[in-house]
Amino acid sequence: MLPELQDVYDRVIRRNHGEPEFHQAVREVFESLDPVIEKHPEYREHAIISRIVEPERQIMFRVPWVDDSGSVQVNRGFRVQFNSALGPYKGGLRFHPSVNLGIIKFLGFEQIFKNSLTGRGIGGGKGGSDFDPHGRSDGEIMRFCQAFMSELHRHIGEHTDVPAGDIGVGGREIGYLYGQYKRLTNRAEMGVLTGKGVPWGGSRGRTEATGYGVVIFADRMLQTAGQAMEGQRVVVSGSGNVAIYAVEKAQELGATVVTVSDSSGYVVDEAGIDLELLKQVKEVERGRVSDYVERRPGSRLVQGGRVWDVPCTVALPCATQNELDHHGAEALVKNGVAVVAEGANMPSTPDAVEIFQSSHVLFGPGKAANAGGVATSALEMAQNASREPLTFSEVTSKLEGIMERIHFKCATTAEEYGRPGDYVLGANIAGFRKVADAMLEQGVV
Ligand code: GLU
């Protein structure tokens, strides 16, 4: 890393105590930037690097609500409005007990470059709460969402900041959040949130978009090696929205998906995951993958192990940050993995990424490979603005084009900088340059 990048990085560590995930996300981007900074003295002159690591605004707030037993609960809410150079802040809300400011900042920072790669005019932001939805009744979820929006509504808007879902926030939560926003503002301002229900302004295909996009991206990566998804043996981690639709798309393209996972363990299903059963268990019953195994003859549950020990040719980490470490990476490489594409945000640790790259495994970082979700959110915003809904197949064909272009941009940027096949470098540089140029043109703000 150039000394000036190192200086800014050291300062990030000093000024953002106890936020290791944020440090990690910054480092991952900075490690790609030496050649860009050398080539563009104007970035240096206008302190683009120091400015880009500082969120434009960070909001933290109390979320008090009453649970089913009548007790008052207090959670903490966050919204980090990181960068608006390319458009309104855009990014999901995460409800999970692990959420803290550092987690939201890492996600918001990643979102800047991801959103830039989509080519859709959206800035970067992220939010959420340490609220744990697990085991909460529908009424509790609704009251929590209403309490959360009671503060958040002051800070968002279709031209300001447009939240969506992430871990723990799906269609149900977006419904409650939107209802409360509308009640508080007396505005049917549909473009203020994405991931809405289709009858009230949601986009067809938004639910599927992230998972579909990851598989389309992996397919393009395979094509560069003269292969395709068809016939691949795929390991998926996670069993939330991203994982489910990654399984669906991979199967549609003729691959066999043999695993999914959650905190109860991982499923191995050699015959290929039964998608209908998986959807029933996870989406309808909100159950565990252990419930899947109980109802699926021939499948088995492995508790306490690593899904990465299951041999495969394509690995799609779709659960959460830092779920795939160097042990996992070594096991995957040993078993002959050819492509790893990240459905989650930063699921691979830096040493895992290094192992993939030095072993010539094609590695697609989340900010490129999982950008289909937020790109489709941008399509939802466009539909809300024009009041002209798209059909499912219009959305999915646009999604395919977007993923194709992101892949192309990453691949050609990596080539331009003398590192063909390095999607990390390609995604970071292509994502960064667009934001940096916009910041230059907009002056010191
Ligand atoms: N949470 C998703 C992401 O990580 C989607 C964000 C959005 O649609 O705004 O990109």
CA pair distance 133, 135, nearest whole angstrom: 6
| CA of 389 relative to ligand 1 center, distance in Å | 20
pLDDT of 390: 98
Q: Is 203 in the pocket of ligand 1 (CB under 6 A)?
A: no
Q: Is 249 a catalytic residue?
A: no
Q: Rounded to whole angstroms, what are the CA distances from 293 to 76, 239, 286?
A: 36, 13, 15
Number of other residues whose CB lies within 10 A of the CB of residue 134: 11
CA pair distance 151, 229, nearest whole angstrom: 45
| CA of 385 relative to ligand 1 center, distance in Å | 19
Which ligand 1 atom is nearest residue 163's CA?
9
Structure tokens at 14: 């000093």
Q: Is 164 in the pocket of ligand 1 (CB under 6 A)?
A: yes
Beta carbons of 105 and 16 less than 8 angstroms apart: yes
Pocket test for ligand 1, best of 115, 166, 245, 320 (most atoms within 8 A of CB): 166
Show contacts of 323-329: CB within 8 Å, 24+ apart: 323/237, 323/347, 324/237, 324/348, 324/349, 324/352, 325/349, 325/351, 325/352, 326/351, 326/352, 326/355, 328/352, 329/353, 329/355, 329/356
CA pair distance 308, 315, nearest whole angstrom: 8
| CA of 297 relative to ligand 1 center, distance in Å | 35
Q: Is 321 in the pocket of ligand 1 (CB under 6 A)?
A: no
**Cross-strand pairs, 62:** 76
Helix (H/G/I), strand (E/B), else coil: 259: strand
Decide which of 3.40.50.10490, 3.60.15.10, 3.40.50.720, 3.20.20.210 is the CATH code for 209-364: 3.40.50.720
**Cross-strand pairs, 79:** 59, 127
Q: What element of type H or E holds 150?
A: helix 138-152
Pocket test for ligand 1, best of 106, 192, 377 (most atoms within 8 A of CB): 377
Q: Is 194 in the pocket of ligand 1 (CB under 6 A)?
A: yes
pLDDT of 362: 98
Q: What element of type H or E holds 402?
A: helix 392-416
Which ligand 1 atom is nearest residue 122's CA?
9
Per-residue pLDDT of the chain (445 residues; tens, 9 = 90+): 999 999 999 999 999 999 999 999 999 999 999 999 999 999 999 999 999 999 999 999 999 999 999 999 999 999 999 999 999 999 999 999 999 999 999 999 999 999 999 999 999 999 999 999 999 999 999 999 999 999 999 999 999 999 999 999 999 999 999 999 999 999 999 999 999 999 999 999 999 999 999 999 999 999 999 999 999 999 999 999 999 999 999 999 999 999 999 999 999 999 999 999 999 999 999 999 999 999 999 999 999 899 999 999 999 999 999 999 999 999 999 999 999 999 999 999 999 999 999 999 999 999 999 999 999 999 999 999 999 999 999 999 999 999 999 999 999 999 999 999 999 999 999 999 999 999 999 999 9
| CA of 247 relative to ligand 1 center, distance in Å | 19
Q: Is 166 in the pocket of ligand 1 (CB under 6 A)?
A: yes
Q: What element of type H or E holds 382?
A: helix 372-386
Which ligand 1 atom is nearest residue 162's CA?
9
State the span(s) of the chain assigned CATH 3.40.50.720: 209-364
Q: Is 104 in the pocket of ligand 1 (CB under 6 A)?
A: no
Question: The whole model's pTM is what?
Answer: 0.97
Q: Is 90 in the pocket of ligand 1 (CB under 6 A)?
A: yes
Q: Is 110 in the pocket of ligand 1 (CB under 6 A)?
A: no
**Whose CA is closest to atom 5 on ligand 1?**
374
Choice among 126, 249, 282, 367 that is catalytic: 126
pLDDT of 77: 99
**Residue length, the chain?**
445
- Residues 6 or more apart whose Cβ sits within 8 Å of residue 209: 245, 372, 373, 375, 376, 377, 395, 399
pLDDT of 415: 98
Burial 337-350 (b: 16+ CB within 10 A, else e): bbbbbbbbbbbbbe
- Residues 6 or more apart whose Cβ sits within 8 Å of residue 252: none
| CA of 37 relative to ligand 1 center, distance in Å | 29
Helix (H/G/I), strand (E/B), else coil: 351: helix
Structure tokens at 392: 């499912």
Q: At 366, which amino acid appears? A: G
| CA of 117 relative to ligand 1 center, distance in Å | 13
State the span(s) of the chain assigned CATH 3.40.50.10860: 3-190
| CA of 80 relative to ligand 1 center, distance in Å | 14
Which ligand 1 atom is nearest residue 370's CA?
10
Pocket test for ligand 1, best of 115, 374, 402, 403 (most atoms within 8 A of CB): 374
pLDDT of 412: 98
Question: Domain 3-190 sits in which CATH superfamily?
Answer: Leucine Dehydrogenase, chain A, domain 1 (3.40.50.10860)
pLDDT of 393: 98
Q: Is 377 in the pocket of ligand 1 (CB under 6 A)?
A: yes
| CA of 426 relative to ligand 1 center, distance in Å | 21
Q: Is 374 in the pocket of ligand 1 (CB under 6 A)?
A: yes
